[in-house]
Structure 1
């Protein structure tokens, strides 16, 4: 759970909204919390804070659509 909380914290920081921590199933793109520029910022933050490199080509908005799904994808990449 600690890893997920780290991921939620990074997403909240990039989105500038703690709602992602409170509701990890929120659709961050549909809700306008993250856009294409935010996606790049998120991937850079993930790499710098977690040491996980996510190629932009592997970032599918339909798969990485909620904080929970992002945490699951990153856990598989660790």
Structure 2
């Protein structure tokens, strides 16, 4: 399972942008994502990768870049 590729594909679907060239772009500060996109991101991560992300544990500052999302998902899969 390629977590990075899956996360990037989900982000591209949600944002309409290929963010693979800048893994540290802040998805919220640049308005690429909003709260509705966040919900969809969590659902897609659960569906595609089997990752359980309780809303109570979702801290936007820890999920605001593609790299942080990959890191968080990989940590939850271990």
Task: Tell whether 2:2 aligns with 1:15.
Answer: no
Structure 1 ranges of 4+ moved more than 2 A: none
Partner in structure 2 of residue 74 of structure 1:
73
Give the RMSD, CA atoms, in angstroms. Answer: 1.0
**Gaps spanning 5+ residues in structure 2: where?**
none
The residue correspondences of 1:1-78 to structure 2 (distance < 5 A) are 2-18=2-18, 20-78=19-77
3-state DSSP of counterpart to 1:21: coil
**Structure 2 Cα separation of the partners of residues 29 and 36 of structure 1:** 9
Gaps of 5+ in 1: none
Residues 27, 33 of structure 2: 8 Å contact kept: yes
